[in-house]
Amino acid sequence: MTDTLPSEGLRRGRPGYDQRGILEVAVAAFNEHGYDATSIGMLAERLGLSKSAIYHHVSSKDELLALALDEALDGLEGVLRSPEAGTGTAAERLAVVLRGAVRVLADKLPYVTLLLRVRGNTDVERAALARRRAFDHAVADLVAEARAEGSLRADADPAVIARLLFGMINSLTEWYDPAGPLTPDELADTILAFTLR
């Protein structure tokens, strides 16, 4: 029996786990052991399912990786496409993008963590890295606009500034606890205070 969830197109099958549940367990395993060291057998053991039950939901381990990386990248790209990121001064648009990136990281922490560990060893990883580079270039362009309008220092390369900004944001994957005292908005406020003031 196969149903399609209307909003996400995820397949539902065997009792206990749908594709989303399997994906969450897979992402945790990929982050813990590395993608290459995680086998479908290991996932089956963690899930208490047979390998064939997993294959009822996905065609391969690569598909799980692609779904996970899409989760992170779709969130980041969605920030760039948001109406707020298209209006106002360059500094205001940059603030929207940085705030949105922090929210995506907080909301999708395991997925973004996995994205940041991708090295380009497979076609899926190379495609994800190409999307990530396009995102980085769009942010660097926004930094250049903010610098040209006088909102940022003029003595630093926009690509370097963008890398430093996202280095700061990406470091959250190493220490941020969504259950801790800091909210994503409080984190974003601090990052924006360092960046734009």
Q: Say if residue 71 is in the same domain as residue 102.
A: yes
Q: Say if residue 27 is in the same domain as residue 74.
A: no
The CATH number of whichever domain residue 26 belongs to comes to 1.10.10.60
Q: Say if residue 51 is in the same domain as residue 94.
A: no
pLDDT tens-digit readout, 93-147: 999 999 999 999 999 999 999 999 999 999 999 999 999 999 999 999 999 999 9
Cβ burial of 170 (10 Å; 0-12, 13-18, 19+) is middle
Among the ranges given (28-42, 72-86, 174-188), the one the predictor scored with the smallest mean pLDDT:
174-188
- Count of structural domains, the chain: 2
Cβ-contact 41, 29 below 8 angstroms: no
pLDDT tens-digit readout, 30-44: 999 999 999 999 999
The CATH number of whichever domain residue 158 belongs to comes to 1.10.357.10
Q: Which of 59, 85, 102 is the last residue of a domain?
A: 59
Task: Give all strands (DSSP E) within 7-127, no chain letters.
Answer: 11-12
Is the pLDDT reported for residue 195 higher than 90?
Answer: no
pLDDT band at 8 (very low <50, low <70, confident <90, very high): very low
Q: 52: domain range?
A: 3-59
Cβ burial of 138 (10 Å; 0-12, 13-18, 19+) is middle
